[in-house]
Amino acid sequence: MSEENKDLGDKAEGTAKDAKDSAKEFTKDAKDSAKEFAKESKETAKDFGEEAKKTANEFKEGLASASGDNKKILAGVLAIVFGGFGVHKFILGYTKEGIIMLAITIVIGAITCGIGASLMWVIGLIEGILYLTKSDEEFYNTYQAGRKPWF
């Protein structure tokens, strides 16, 4: 019986040694995989950072060239969305006209429970459509250089 125990002990030691070797090999493979993953992640992050910088520079260049003189799209969209409040007039530098539109919307809107203020919203909608349908040069010459405040 002691011979059997000795054989079982030897088998257990062999199995434990095999398990230990397998665990070492698994650990080595896991470390190699982690290192490879980390390297690939760094490269991907670097590529992403470079692309982000490139996109930001393109956006900055586009913004600098578009926003300086011509405010056509901004004024047009604001006229359509918030036309009754005259926001687009303030954007174009027509403070007096913007205050007029805002005052009419508030005063007539209060008196007529909002029904009369729809006139200013219609004017804003029409102006927004006019702004967006003009060419950039025509818009600039008419509303910014020419200072035409209405329609």
The string of pLDDT tens digits covering residues 10-68 is: 676 777 787 788 778 888 887 888 788 778 878 876 876 777 677 666 655 654 554 44
What's the rounded Cα separation, in Å, for the pair 148 and 94?
Answer: 9
pLDDT of 92? 87
pLDDT of 63? 47
Complete DSSP assignment for 12-49:
HHHHHHHHHHHHHHHHHHHHHHHHHHHHHHHHHHHHHH
Please state the rounded mean pLDDT for residues 124-139. Answer: 89
Burial of 33 (0-12, 13-18, 19+ CB in 10 A): exposed
Q: What pTM value is reported for the model?
A: 0.51
pLDDT of 8? 64
pLDDT of 24? 85
Domain spans, the chain: 1-68, 72-145
